[in-house]
Amino acid sequence: MTRKPVSERTIRRLSHYSRCLRLAKSRGESVMTSNRLAAACTISSAAVRKDLSSFGEFGRKGSGYDVDGLLASIEDILGVADPPGVVIVGAGNMGRALIASGLSGSSGYRVRAVFDSDPAMIGREIGGLRVEPVDALSRILRELGEVIAVLAVGRGGGQAALDRVAAAGCRAVLSFNLEPMKVPEGVCLRFVEVSTELDILTHALRSPR
Amino acid sequence: MTRKPVSERTIRRLSHYSRCLRLAKSRGESVMTSNRLAAACTISSAAVRKDLSSFGEFGRKGSGYDVDGLLASIEDILGVADPPGVVIVGAGNMGRALIASGLSGSSGYRVRAVFDSDPAMIGREIGGLRVEPVDALSRILRELGEVIAVLAVGRGGGQAALDRVAAAGCRAVLSFNLEPMKVPEGVCLRFVEVSTELDILTHALRSPR
DNA sequence: GCGTGTGAACCTCTTCACAGCG
DNA sequence: CGCTGTGAAGAGGTTCACACGC
């Protein structure tokens, strides 16, 4: 079982493929082709085949890919077959939106706990979850085991939240706060950059074509 | 004024630089170096210099870059010096979160209108904005001129929302809904893929290193 | 000495065209 | 005949090392 490093670009595409496959599966489709996957992801079919073939021979020449089999293979590559739990830090609008949307995706992630530092928030129920005080982070994360923490806290609260989840043993963090942060050793931190997406769209609007 | 096409990768970095520069500016700093920008963006200083120098000579050898000047130049390249307005479709938790956070960034975007299809929502006030019915899209977008539409609607409502904003003349859309959509001619559609970010983090957690 | 600007080497990723198999 | 798997060619982006100017 020799795992070669997979580029982030590739992982992103695999994630997209898996979404498409889950959708096809839910529609009862049992076979998928590189062409249809490509159309759904707006890339070329050759790119899809290259991605997939670099991990093994998942397809049947002449017919295509088995939806269930390919989905299982991709989930195995990504490591999301049995996804880690998710905890949300910050029970404001963004935290609530993430819980309500089921993490805006058809993937298997589930929100296991919500934390907030505002005493007035503690104890409230959101989507079946009781809002916990941030002081409970260590205890609850120990109970939950491996989790991804999503930071959806107020302006300027990012670093403190990051430090706390890291101290509680969390090694993967997704932040909606864009303040620059000092990343604790051993922690993988990523950002959801809405403002950057807006910049990209603005550039598209304003550039000649 | 010959504009060469700028890759998305580069635009994304420029956007990040501009965030750092705005922060430096707000702190009263007047000079910035490629080294500090690089550290803030976790890339190499050579990459920063290459990015910037490909658009002109913005720096002073030996000292660095003038914060105000560089920021203005980057905003000009991105086209965000006078940013387009933003309208939000969907006044649920996500829509409210985006309004409350000021679009989670220090950039100059401002939310100009909020729409919802739920009659019970119409007329409510959110962050100083009255929730408008989606039927008012055409009229209000005509008043606002060039805008970016952010789709934060419920499960399965993406395509309908996209079609409506496109029909109202909007040419740039950012969607939190991940359903595959048929993109109207002339529209640039991008996605905020929280579930993909989670997949990337999961892969990081689960891969040997 | 310090920090920018840049050509050249380097490397990664994408595209193409086609062989191969059902 | 249809669709996958893949070597080869090509494009694009990154790193390196150093010259230049303050």
pLDDT in tens, B131-178: 999 999 999 999 999 999 999 999 999 999 999 999 999 999 999 999
Q: Which of B179, B205, B209 to mutate to test the interface with A (most CBs of A within 10 A)?
A: B205
pLDDT at B102: 85
B8-78 and B85-195, same CATH topology: no
* Weakly modelled stretches of chain B, pLDDT under 70: 1-3, 106, 208-209
| Predicted TM-score (pTM) of this structure | 0.96
Domain boundaries, chain B: 8-78, 85-195
Task: Report whether pLDDT(A209) > 70.
Answer: no
CA dihedral A150, A155, A161, A163 (to 10 degrees): 120
Average pLDDT over residues A77-85: 96
pLDDT at B208: 66
**Protein-to-nucleotide distance from the CA of B46 to the C1' of D16, whole angstroms:** 9
The one-letter amino acid code at B61 reads K
* Chain A residues close to B146, C-beta within 8 Å: 205
Q: What is the pLDDT of residues A9-36, one digit of tens each?
A: 999 999 999 999 999 999 999 999 999 9
Does the distance separating the beta carbons of B176 and A208 come in below 8 Å?
A: no
Minimum-distance nucleotide, CA of A57 to C1': D5
Average pLDDT over residues A102-130: 92
Q: How many angstroms separate the CA of residue B130 from the nearest CA in chain A?
A: 18
Q: What is the pLDDT of residues A83-104, one digit of tens each?
A: 999 999 999 999 999 999 988 7
CATH of A85-195, one of 3.40.80.10, 3.30.70.141, 3.40.50.720, 3.30.360.10: 3.40.50.720
Does the distance separating the beta carbons of B172 and A196 come in below 8 Å?
A: no
Task: Fold for A8-78, please state it.
Answer: Arc Repressor Mutant, subunit A (1.10.10)
Minimum-distance nucleotide, CA of B53 to C1': C5
Of B109, B197, B208, the CB nearest to A190: B197
Does the distance separating the beta carbons of B104 and A3 come in below 8 Å?
A: no
pLDDT at B45: 98
pLDDT at A1: 52
